[in-house]
Structure 1
Amino acid sequence: MKATSAPDYRLPALQLALSGLLWLLWALLPADSYRDWVLLGPVLLLVGIPHGANDLLLLRKRFPQLPPRRAFGLYLAVFLASAGLMLWLPLPGLVLFLVITAYHFGQGDLHDHLRPRAARRADGLYVAWGANLLAALLALRAHELPGYLPDGYGFAAITDFFVALPNTPLAYGAVAAGLLAGAAAGGWLSWPEAGLRLAATVFLLLLFTHTRLLVGFAVYFGIWHSVDSIRLFSRSLYPPDGAAGFRQFYRDALPITVLAFLFLGGLLWLSAQIELPYPLTFVLFIFIFAITVPHVFVTEPIYRRSRGVE
């Protein structure tokens, strides 16, 4: 999609429709402790996990001289080191997770809207955009955070920080509008592209406000971030762009997707049998953080190359 032409509204319209449908489904489900997981599970299985399941193929594309076993070993080493950091130094690990995720989400949201000359120097914009989005999700649902984080480790300071932030979606909508208006005025993206991104953000802010933390995260991460990423990565791995490349992406992602889902299912089963040392949701965050660090390392060049930036 070229930033200099009229925006392509087809994919955002589909994402908006799917997000609205999931919101409606969640509202109609019985209000018990499993309602969030009923929504989160299928979204993770269908788009969340697959969007990162071909990281090893992307790593081989970035370093074609790297033997497959060494590529796997490198990826696994970064994964285990990240998990270890979160387990042994939970508070610094969580802060690092939020910073890396803010950059990655900001890049995923904006990279396809920016003109190539802007994409070369947009790292600050990516961080600001992603930080505003994460702040909105966590501040608007700040009263839920104690249920996701274990006692101690200084996590109360994290909760207090987000409790102190504005508890209205208008604040985060205003920041998003300001960032987009500044980028459009500076020629970084077109005004129609800015309007398209702002409309999606307004919807997400309403979703964050009127559902729950896991629901807001699942819909954004699955329907918006992961779908956009799968489209980009399938183009990179299987050019030319098209439905055939999309199908091949899913075929190649299937083994890792199944293994990851079995792991998460086993974790759910184990949590029902014994008392875990951490809340189940925090264990899930450890897994997400551990996979996010190598994922961002692998995919960063793909985002840059897609906008003609080396």
Structure 2
Amino acid sequence: MSKYDSLAIVISFYSLWISSYLSDIYEVILGIILILTFGIYHGANDILISSKFLSNGKAKNSITILVFYVFQVLLALLLFYLSPLLGLLLFILASSYHFGEQQLSFLKTILPETYLRIYALSYGLMLFFLLFMMHPAEVVAIVKQITFFTIDAQHIYYGFVIFMCVFLLFTFLVLIAYPKSRGSLFYQFLFLGVYAIIFKVSSLIWGFAIYFIVWHSIPSMQLQTIFIYGSLSRFHFFKYVKDAFLYWILSVLAIGLFYYFQSTSKFFITVIFSFFSAITYPHAFVIFKMLQQKKTE
């Protein structure tokens, strides 16, 4: 277990302690603020990362990359507007793979690519449905609010059982083929226990915010800093924060404008979710390419 993993466990339980002093509404507000800050910030350097792995040592027009990136976001927003249910399903799939890919990145050098992709997807889906299973009523309400489609809370439980079984099967196969991965996989199960406690004790938004910020966004920022600048020194990390600041400001302003022009929308969470899902697709692709290049190197 790394030093950061130990610190993440402490921060997670400290966050639960803080939430015990907050009302439900303030807990949701704080969770959304964290998602809009650290959550979006961890994807604000996607243009710089894309320039690095697409340039291959040659000068690359970052404006072209930015235009293509924005075009992908607009396409995702259009999809979500035309078919909210399809947009929601694709968001869950993309996010599940993205979370699982980072969580299981230590296996990238030993597992075949196709096997690792299925394994990562099953991990991420199990994680999402673990969160959903702890708050079925909230999930049913939000899904209906976003897609106007009613799901059965029982289906959430079935989904969790199915994806957990797939994940356990793949874990068993990995342990047989690569017994040296036993220690790292043990810690993943320990972390899953921590996530289960977080999701159970906290509200839906707060539980997701804790995982998304503490266990995903900050570790992702560390990996990105190493990829871009070559090391995780304090100087390079602050340079990462500085380089991402303009893109983060633009993203937050875009969310504000998107909400402002959605005059018929009564629910801020719907607008946040729609925009957040739209920026997830290109970000997940950028990190996928980044981890691929790191594996090659």
TM value normalised by structure 1? 0.84
Q: Is the 8 A contact 1:62 1:298 kept in 2?
A: no
Would you tell me which structure has more helix in proportion to its own residues?
2
| Matches of 1:152 and 1:207, distance apart in 2 | 25
Q: Deviations over 1:196-227 (max 9, x none)?
A: 11111111011111211101111111111111
Which amino acid is 2:6 matched to? Answer: A
Q: How much has 1:114 moved relative to structure 2?
A: 1.1
Partner of 2:233: 242
1:292 and 2:280 aligned: yes
Q: Deviations over 1:156-198 (max 9, x none)?
A: 1xx32x532339x999877755543432332176211111111
Q: How much has 1:131 moved relative to structure 2?
A: 0.8
Which amino acid is 1:34 matched to? Answer: Y
Partner of 1:41: 33
Partner of 2:268: 280
Q: Kindly report which structure 2 residues correspond to 1:1-310, keeping only aligned pairs within 5 A, or say none.
A: 8-29=1-22, 31-42=23-34, 44-45=36-37, 47-64=38-55, 66-111=60-105, 113-114=106-107, 116-118=109-111, 120-121=113-114, 122-151=116-145, 153=147, 155-156=149-150, 159-160=151-152, 162-166=153-157, 179-187=170-178, 190-264=181-255, 276-277=264-265, 279-308=267-296
Gaps of 5+ in 2: none
Q: Is the 8 A contact 1:26 1:39 kept in 2?
A: no
CA RMSD of aligned residues (A): 2.8
Q: Deviations over 1:5-37 (max 9, x none)?
A: xxx4211011111111111111111x2423221
Q: Is the 8 A contact 1:115 1:189 kept in 2?
A: no
C-alpha change, 1:115 and 1:76, in structure 2 (3 Å) is closer
Q: How much has 1:290 moved relative to structure 2?
A: 0.7
C-alpha change, 1:148 and 1:188, in structure 2 (3 Å) is farther
Gaps of 5+ in 1: 1-7
C-alpha change, 1:26 and 1:171, in structure 2 (3 Å) is farther
Which amino acid is 2:155 matched to? Answer: A
C-alpha change, 1:50 and 1:87, in structure 2 (3 Å) is same
Q: How much has 1:109 moved relative to structure 2?
A: 0.8
Q: Deviations over 1:124-160 (max 9, x none)?
A: 101111110011111221110243235584521xx32
Q: How much has 1:247 moved relative to structure 2?
A: 1.6
| Matches of 2:68 and 2:224, distance apart in 1 | 20
| Matches of 2:161 and 2:92, distance apart in 1 | 22
| Matches of 2:92 and 2:179, distance apart in 1 | 26
Q: Deviations over 1:33-62 (max 9, x none)?
A: 2322124313541x2121100011011112
Q: Deviations over 1:246-303 (max 9, x none)?
A: 12111111122233344556778x59xx964253212111111110111112121111
What is the number of equivalent residue pairs in this alignment?
293
Q: Is the 8 A contact 2:44 2:247 kept in 1?
A: yes
Q: Is the 8 A contact 1:150 1:279 kept in 2?
A: no
Give SS of 1:91's match: helix
| Matches of 1:36 and 1:86, distance apart in 2 | 23
Larger mean Cα displacement after TM superposition, 49-58 or 144-153? 144-153
TM value normalised by structure 2? 0.87
Give SS of 1:190's match: helix
